[in-house]
Homo-oligomer: A and B are copies of this chain.
């Protein structure tokens, strides 16, 4: 169960309250409010608050471009134009605040996105719960043999079992000692800020994370990508679903131009033109390195 009983009670109470507002309101997001969407074995994502909608973006763009934007007749066209031409400031006019529960090693990647506001649970002040991420057997991937960063096939048989046993037992031992060290029962009790150093990176933490839509899209482009580590990608994918309900036009443009798009180099464009002119271009004649050529082929590959 990813949410504690206390948290659930608080959520239920807040969920029951409704207010009247003159602010832009999105029914799809209201449905998400105060609902914890489970991610991984003990994690979740839930929307705490949001500001703006698709119209807030076009409204801001129309302040910037004034009468000039009247030519683009509708919101969808304008939003696609803004996304295509990297006009990022109108997307910054929307903001979202999420409550996320996630393993520490995922949090360490996540926090590298600096343009966001964060309040994390502090293990200096408070005691962490005994909750650890233990991968499902099918997610126990081997190191990739083709690159230093990726994953290969799932581990099999005894090796998989051994890994799971270690992850579980080391987590348990670490937490037992954490509890024993901070205990004030018959002893002084180690400071929390010190005792936490014994806890492994698969322990769960939680935070409030607030970010504008432009920076969220940047996060999602990198973290919902196939090359992202699976354990952060599942959070990004869940957030993608939420954003789709929040700003459907913007999300559609993001999906087409960013998630589903590709960046070509000058060399790539040159090769492309030669190929379209009928030339049979190879890596050797492309001027690209092997790595670049492989990625380029991934973009232009002709369905056979």
Contact = CB atoms under 8 A, between A and B. Distances in A.
B21 A19 contact: yes
B191 A148 contact: no
Nearest to A174: B170
Interface in A105-151: 105, 108, 111-112, 114-115, 117-122, 124-127, 133, 135, 140-144, 148-151
A224 to B, nearest CB: 14
A80 B292 contact: yes
A291 B201 contact: no
Contacts of A282: none
Contact of A210 (B67, B95, B124, B275): B95
Q: How many copies does the complex hold?
A: 4
Given A63-B119, A170-B174, A174-B170, A301 B273 contact: yes
Contact of A133 (B187, B197, B201): B197
B34 A30 contact: no
Instruction: Select the residue from A127, A142, A144, A212 with max chain B CB neighbours within 10 A.
Output: A142
Interface of A: 14-15, 17-25, 30, 33-34, 48-52, 56, 59-61, 63-69, 71, 77, 80-81, 84, 86, 89-90, 92-93, 95, 97, 99, 103-105, 108, 111-112, 114-115, 117-122, 124-127, 133, 135, 140-144, 148-153, 155-156, 159, 162-163, 166-167, 170, 173-174, 177, 180-182, 184, 187-194, 196-202, 206-208, 210, 212, 222, 229, 255-257, 259-269, 272-273, 275-277, 289, 291-292, 295, 299-303
For the complex of A and B, 4 pairs with smallest distance between CB atoms = A66-B126, A260-B266, A68-B125, A19-B25
